[in-house]
Structure 1
Amino acid sequence: MTDYDVIADAIGLSDAARVLAAGEGPVAVDVERASGFRYSQRAYLIQVFRRGAGVFLFDPPPIGDFSALQEAIGGEEWVLHAASQDLPSLRELDLEPVTIFDTELAARLLGHDRVGLGAVVADTLGITLAKAHSASDWSTRPLPQSWLEYAALDVEHLVDVRDALAAELEAQGKTAFA
């Protein structure tokens, strides 16, 4: 098990933004909310992965201003799973992609039987994700290490899933449509 640190201040965000800006290719982004507990779409954890940079976990409430992250990755393609669920939370923090690849929508266009993140990762990469904490209260502090590992895995494989689905879209002649 990898130990993950949560970035909870402007200095940590700035340092992570520099590393992410120097990474390569698309950026995987995910949001954890506490909707069943807090009745809002507020982000309580943002996970970001980019090849050559790694996984970063951000605690939005204490950070507040995410302009350094937006500047670092805003012009890149963002890979999200079920983007319609995460975009409102990201927009509240002024985090807005110019281009999106939604792995759930791609799986739907390709006719996959199951389109949840765990199923899509398993179908495309043969990797099983533990989805034990999907309905947890992400406003809890401190976040348990097992929750952080779960959250990191939500983005760690997402760019590889994107690549596999993009190849499948191309093979089926659906790239332009997607």
Structure 2
Amino acid sequence: MAVHFHEEDLPAGVLADGPVAVDTETMGLITKRDRLCLVQISDGQGDEHLVRFGPESNYDAPNLKAVLGDQNRLKLYHFARFDLAAIEHYLGVMAAPCYCTKIASKLVRTYTDRHGLKNLVDELLGESMSKVQQSSDWGGPDINEAQREYAASDVRFLHRMREELNRRLEREGRMEMAQACFDFLPTRARLDIAGWADHDIFSHA
């Protein structure tokens, strides 16, 4: 298992076929204001790839875009809504179809309100991960080893986690509902970008 660091694009041919786990690191939580700094991606075979974008980047990353924009390749996320918006706004591709472990968790782990990635890794996989670097500066001139390990860990467990969550979704008869949620996520991300991030358009209000 290794963490590979790349500048501005993903090398061609480094990922196996099949679903890929994807995550992003940005300068903050407001997509249009806080630029995309890092995209993490893993094919679940043991390696993680980190693609860093500098402050002057034009986000011309043809290899990465080809993978993210491939409509025949499933992308796994934890809180896909945020990552989809960041990727579309900065890279210009809608990185779907997608699977969101946070949504799946909320549909089957109704006995808790703890749906963070760290909580899921601990309960579902019996492993631990550190979130110490979560709020660090991802736009600096250097990404240190602690940041790289944190970023890599955000995609390291998603393939195995999906398998366990799918077992629970099937058990509870909620797989169809989950898939409908996943299918809506690109639209939800576009609503966020367009200005409806904090308003529930389905509510009576």
Instruction: Confirm or deny: 8 A CA contact 2:27 2:139 kept in the other structure.
Output: yes
Instruction: Give structure 1 regions of 4+ aligned residues with deviation exceeding 6 angstroms.
Output: none
Specify the alignment match of 1:32 in structure 2. 25
**Distance in 2, Cα, partners of 1:47 & 1:135:** 16
Specify the alignment match of 1:71 in structure 2. 66
Specify the alignment match of 2:103 in structure 1. 105
Give per-residue Cα distances to partners, 1:19-67, cap 9 Å, x unaligned: 22xx14311000011217x982321111001034721000123472123
Instruction: Confirm or deny: 8 A CA contact 2:65 2:91 kept in the other structure.
Output: no
Specify the alignment match of 1:18 in structure 2. 13
Please, what TM-score do these two structures have when normalized by structure 2? 0.75
Shift of 1:3: 6.9
Greater Rg over alpha carbons, structure: 2
CA gap of 1:109–1:143, structure 2 versus 1, over 3 A, is same
**Distance in 1, Cα, partners of 2:74 & 2:58:** 23
Q: What is the aligned-residue identity percentage?
A: 28
**Distance in 2, Cα, partners of 1:154 & 1:55:** 10
SS at 2:43 equivalent: strand
Query: Which stretches in structure 2 are left out of the alignment for 5+ residues?
Result: 179-205
SS at 2:175 equivalent: coil
Name the stretch that deviates more: 112-121 or 152-161. 112-121
**Distance in 2, Cα, partners of 1:127 & 1:119:** 10
Instruction: Confirm or deny: 8 A CA contact 2:87 2:95 kept in the other structure.
Output: no
**Distance in 1, Cα, partners of 2:107 & 2:67:** 30
How many residues align? The count is: 171
**Distance in 1, Cα, partners of 2:111 & 2:76:** 18
Instruction: Confirm or deny: 8 A CA contact 1:28 1:158 kept in the other structure.
Output: yes
CA root-mean-square deviation:
2.4
Counting strand residues as a fraction of each chain, which structure ranks higher? 1
Query: Which stretches in structure 1 are left out of the alignment for 5+ residues?
Result: none
CA gap of 1:176–1:27, structure 2 versus 1, over 3 A, is same
1:41 paired with 2:34, answer yes
SS at 1:134 equivalent: helix
